[in-house]
Amino acid sequence: MVAQILDGKNLAKKIQSRLQADIEKQVAIKNRRPGLAVLMVGDNPASAVYVRNKEKACQKIGMESFGKHFPDTVSQKELENVIEELNCDRNVDGILVQLPLPEKFDAVGLLHKIAPEKDADGLHPENLGKLVRGEKGLRSCTPAGVMEILADNNIDLEGKKAVVVGRSILVGKPLALMLLEKNATVTIAHSRTENLAAVTREADILIAAVGKPEMITADMVKPSAVVIDVGINRLETEDGKGYLVGDVAYEQVKEVASYITPVPGGVGPMTVAMLLQNTYDSYLNRVEKN
């Protein structure tokens, strides 16, 4: 048995096409276009690529992009002032601070400055609190993307054993809560979990989000499990060429699993799609109130 591929790239295109159609309907009834502001600090090459991809995605679906790029000499206070201005800008519906930031900055402090209703990344404590309480709110993009992939492929979660390997506030913790919301029985495992392989082999749904290249091997996977690979790790060949791998040893594990996400082309594109969805949802809420 070879696993069926869960194609996040194709699903992301579908979501973006739907958003594009929805935005044009809003423009047709004389509403403004939704707007997303992405703040980037410094010259991290990976961050620059991610920001470009987000700006291109905005352009493609007809969403306004208010990108702001700052040198790493900018101060914490200056960034906070920019966020306050964007909070008050009626043309901006989503605000995102591109992570990681240079070490001197208090990233959490900046995230807290974003108005919860414009928190496109779903990381403000108020939105995380709403997730804990099962209330409606903006959801963290990568976990929300994982949930969309599972739903689009009609993968039933109710009563299933789900193991999330990774406990970050970006992915592991919010994803565990989203799985619980769908009535899965959830275990969070991490670097200090004893006998990790025994824990992962119990999983009907196994999600790897640890940032360690190909650490989930075939012997750690229950036959016919659904395997979701959130990891994106850049490695180099001997001649210096870069390539991407996930946290799952894909070639091995695809022979054991029933479904698997590839890297690239799995969860990654869905993160951007859910960022756009969050921004549109925020926009719709604000347009309807006005």
Residue 277 is a catalytic residue: no
The catalytic residue among 98, 160, 229, 254 is 98
Residue 280 lies in a domain: no
Kindly report, residue by residue over 226-262, the tens digit of the pLDDT.
999 999 988 888 888 888 999 999 999 999 999 999 9
The rounded distance, in Å, linking the Cα atoms of 96 and 205 is 30
Mark whether 257 and 168 lie in a shared domain: yes
Query: Binding residue per annotation — 32?
Result: no
The rounded distance, in Å, linking the Cα atoms of 270 and 162 is 20
The structure's pTM equals: 0.95
Q: Which residue, 61, 87, 119, sits at the end of a domain?
A: 119
Report pLDDT for 240: 84
Mark whether 37 and 105 lie in a shared domain: yes
Query: Binding residue per annotation — 192?
Result: no
CB of 277 closer than 8 Å to CB of 242: no
Spans in the chain with pLDDT lower than 50: none
**Torsions phi, psi of 79, nearest 5?**
-65, -40
The rounded distance, in Å, linking the Cα atoms of 48 and 231 is 19
Where b means 16+ CB within 10 Å and e means fewer, 154-188 reads: ebebeebebbbbbbbebbbbbbbbbbbeeebbbbb
CATH at residue 48: 3.40.50.10860
Kindly report, residue by residue over 91-124, the tens digit of the pLDDT.
999 999 998 899 999 999 999 999 999 999 999 9
Q: How many domains does the chain have?
A: 2
DSSP E strands in the chain: the ranges are 4-5, 35-41, 64-65, 68-70, 94-97, 161-165, 185-189, 205-208, 226-229, 233-236, 242-245, 259-260
Using only the alpha carbons of the chain, give its radius of gyration: 19
Residue 94 lies in a domain: yes
Mark whether 59 and 89 lie in a shared domain: yes
Query: Binding residue per annotation — 191?
Result: no
**Torsions phi, psi of 41, nearest 5?**
-120, 130
Mark whether 112 and 181 lie in a shared domain: no
Residue 121 is a catalytic residue: yes
Show the tokens assigned to 167: 């406990």
Mark whether 167 and 239 lie in a shared domain: yes
Query: How many other C-beta atoms are found inside a 10 Å radius of the C-beta of residue 129?
Result: 12
Domain housing 201: 141-268
The catalytic residue among 54, 118, 173, 254 is 54
The rounded distance, in Å, linking the Cα atoms of 53 and 63 is 13
Residue 80 lies in a domain: yes
Mark whether 154 and 258 lie in a shared domain: yes
CATH at residue 247: 3.40.50.720
Residue 95 lies in a domain: yes
The rounded distance, in Å, linking the Cα atoms of 99 and 39 is 9
Show the tokens assigned to 282: 């925020």
Mark whether 106 and 158 lie in a shared domain: no
The catalytic residue among 68, 113, 119, 121 is 121
Mark whether 113 and 149 lie in a shared domain: no
Residue 163 lies in a domain: yes
Report pLDDT for 184: 98
Residue 54 is a catalytic residue: yes
Mark whether 182 and 105 lie in a shared domain: no
Query: Binding residue per annotation — 168?
Result: yes
